[in-house]
């Protein structure tokens, strides 16, 4: 075994011998049958409907997916990786792609203040129901203000 301690990796030479698999015991997989890949039900903005929504999900600035499908030409439709996707909403209605059925940030919240008010309302609801701690709420409130000050938001009234 090479000495990797200089890069912060220590190995004592032990390994789990039980991890050796007897592949002959694994049932054969029929290659002529496919299986369904189930995806969550989504709202008009493309975000999941189910579950408790933290402010990022309740007051989204993008479509968030827990999956990432391959594009045509690269095993289209199969899962690409396990990281998911973030597909931002257009900021202004006027600059929105006509093929994108999702609302723009301007259509959703109107102004920077409207965005912040929506985040605060979502936070208040989570606090009332006991789904968020006060110290976390403060961080989300501060983050909403900081988000509204980002250059991307500068064109929003």
CA–CA distance, 57 with 119 (Å, rounded to integer):
10
pLDDT of residue 138: 97
Are the C-beta atoms of residues 96 and 129 closer than 8 Å to each other? no
Decide: pTM greater than 0.85. Answer: no
CA dihedral defined by 64, 66, 72, 75, rounded to 10 degrees? Answer: 170
Q: Can you give the pLDDT at residue 26?
A: 65
User: pLDDT digits over 35-46, tens only?
Assistant: 676 778 899 999
Query: What stretches in the chain show pLDDT beneath 50?
Result: 1
Structure confidence at residue 66 (pLDDT): 80
pLDDT at 3: 59
Domain ranges of the chain: 46-155
The pLDDT assigned to 101 comes to: 93
The confidence score (pLDDT) of residue 17 equals 54
């Amino acid at each position: 075994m090479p000495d990797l301690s200089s890069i912060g990796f220590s190995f004592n030479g032990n390994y789990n011998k039980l991890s050796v698999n007897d592949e002959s015991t694994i049932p054969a997989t029929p290659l002529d049958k496919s299986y369904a890949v189930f995806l969550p039900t989504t709202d008009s903005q493309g975000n999941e409907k189910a579950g408790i929504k933290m402010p990022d999900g309740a007051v989204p600035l993008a479509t968030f997916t827990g999956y990432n499908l391959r594009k045509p030409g690269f095993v289209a439709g199969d899962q690409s990786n396990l990281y998911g996707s973030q597909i931002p909403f257009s900021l202004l209605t006027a600059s929105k792609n006509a093929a994108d059925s999702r609302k723009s940030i301007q259509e959703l919240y109107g102004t920077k203040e409207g965005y912040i008010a929506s985040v605060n309302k979502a936070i208040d609801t989570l606090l009332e129901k006991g789904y968020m701690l006060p110290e976390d709420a403060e961080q989300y409130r501060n983050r909403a203000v900081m988000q509204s000050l980002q250059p991307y938001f500068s064109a929003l009234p």
